[in-house]
Structure 1
Amino acid sequence: MWVTGYRAYELNVFGNKDKKLPIIKYCLKQALTAQLDDGMEWLITGCDQGTDQWAAEVGLGLKKDYPELKIAMMAPYANFGNRWQEASQARLAELRSAVDFTADVSHEGYQSGRQLAAYGTFMSEHTDGAVMLYDTDYPGKAKFSYERVQNLSSSRKYNVSLITMYDLQEAATTLAEEAENGRFQDF
């Protein structure tokens, strides 16, 4: 299952203490748990700051209940993230060392957008479906991945599950009610 979606800045999420993050991770956990209960064996995600890294974090947390789950993080090209702030680079390195498999689709450093297109092709060809934190009413960089998987849906059995802004709002309401009743758990 390819898990991807918005970058952190597209959702105005800045830092690990942002109040939006538990809501996003709650939705990711619900979607991934459903996929695991349906037979998912591999969670395959990218390395971008945002949905990709949050999915890896949630997946690592799910391993205690689903020890058979395997997680892969794929970068579109070598040295991905090397221009990020030091703390962000360290977080990426930490996640990549914690997952079951990690590799670069292109073994060269960034050269052109063709590497990003090749990455999208690789991810869609090596997965059976996608979970995307994406809403068609709010396009962002994930639009390219969304359009890619939409085109696959007609040519092969490729299931696409979206987590939309409405889903995030519903989760926020649920978590607020749980917090009010003393049942809130952080992700």
Structure 2
Amino acid sequence: MKTLAVTGYKSHELGIFDQNHEGIHYIKKAFEKRLIPLIEEETEWFVISGQIGVELWVAEVVLQLKEIYPDIKLAVLTPFLKQEENWQEQTKEYYQHILSQADFVESITKRPYESRAQLRLKNEFIISKTDGLLLLYDEEKPGAPSYYLDVAKKRQEHDEYPILYITPNDLYTMIQEEREADPTYWSD
């Protein structure tokens, strides 16, 4: 895989309303753990749409990994112009900070929001331009990532298109591993 679409839940779908929430740390660690072997297998581009939540956290991970793997790149393909227009000021600043460090930023429809069709076009476009999909996903709580997943599964019907998952079990394992690595964990 040379290009990988990466997505997951919006922050509110996970009940995360604060950038200091401890769950973000584990989500980022889980993605880092999955991205490193993919980078070492020559995945170069990581493509997101800039959704608040998992996508922006993954962008942070990719940008951090660029220090070790300077050849990797982050692309942000937004569904429409000014997608952050109605976001809170602090979130806008965070988003702009990510965009300023991305290697490629473009709006797919090149116009402001008009309809949900732009979101569908975004999913179809990103899946058509990438070699695989990595997503944080819980089959019991479909949410936003299910739209990407549906398009990816349709592509799989006629094309080799790997779909890689990070599941709630993966997150639970990550949390347990980190807790057990803390020497004080065993002293209780």
TM norm structure 1: 0.94
In structure 2, the partner of 1:136 is 139
Partners of 1:4 and 1:142 within 8 A in 2: yes
2:25 alignment partner, one of 22, 25, 46: 22
- How far does residue 126 in structure 1 lie from its aligned partner after superposition? 0.7
SS in 1 for 2:108: strand
Runs of at least 4 residues off by over 2 Å: 179-182
2:64 pairs with 1:47 = no
The CA RMSD measured in Å over matched residues stands at: 1.2
User: Which whole-Å CA distance do the structure 1 matches of 2:182 and 2:87 have between them?
Assistant: 35
In structure 1, the partner of 2:115 is 112
Per mean C-alpha deviation after superposition, the further-off stretch among 157-166 and 133-142 is 133-142
Calculate percent identity across the aligned residue pairs. 27
2:177 alignment partner, one of 160, 174, 179: 174
In structure 2, the partner of 1:32 is 35
Read off the aligned partner of 2:14 and give its amino acid letter.
L
In structure 1, the partner of 2:164 is 161
Per mean C-alpha deviation after superposition, the further-off stretch among 173-182 and 148-157 is 173-182
SS in 2 for 1:132: strand
In structure 1, the partner of 2:64 is 61
Deviations 1:75-123 (A, max 9, x none): 1000101100001011111100111110100111100111111111110
In structure 2, the partner of 1:103 is 106
Partners of 1:135 and 1:162 within 8 A in 2: no
- How far does residue 181 in structure 1 lie from its aligned partner after superposition? 5.8
Structure 1 gap segments, 5+ residues each: 183-187
User: Which whole-Å CA distance do the structure 1 matches of 2:27 and 2:76 have between them?
Assistant: 19
2:154 pairs with 1:151 = yes
User: Which whole-Å CA distance do the structure 2 matches of 1:181 and 1:106 have between them?
Assistant: 52
User: Which whole-Å CA distance do the structure 2 matches of 1:13 and 1:28 have between them?
Assistant: 17
User: Which whole-Å CA distance do the structure 1 matches of 2:184 and 2:75 have between them?
Assistant: 37
- How far does residue 136 in structure 1 lie from its aligned partner after superposition? 1.3
Equivalent positions of 1:6-21 (< 5 A) are 6-21=9-24
Structure 2 gap segments, 5+ residues each: none
Deviations 1:158-179 (A, max 9, x none): 1110001111111111111123
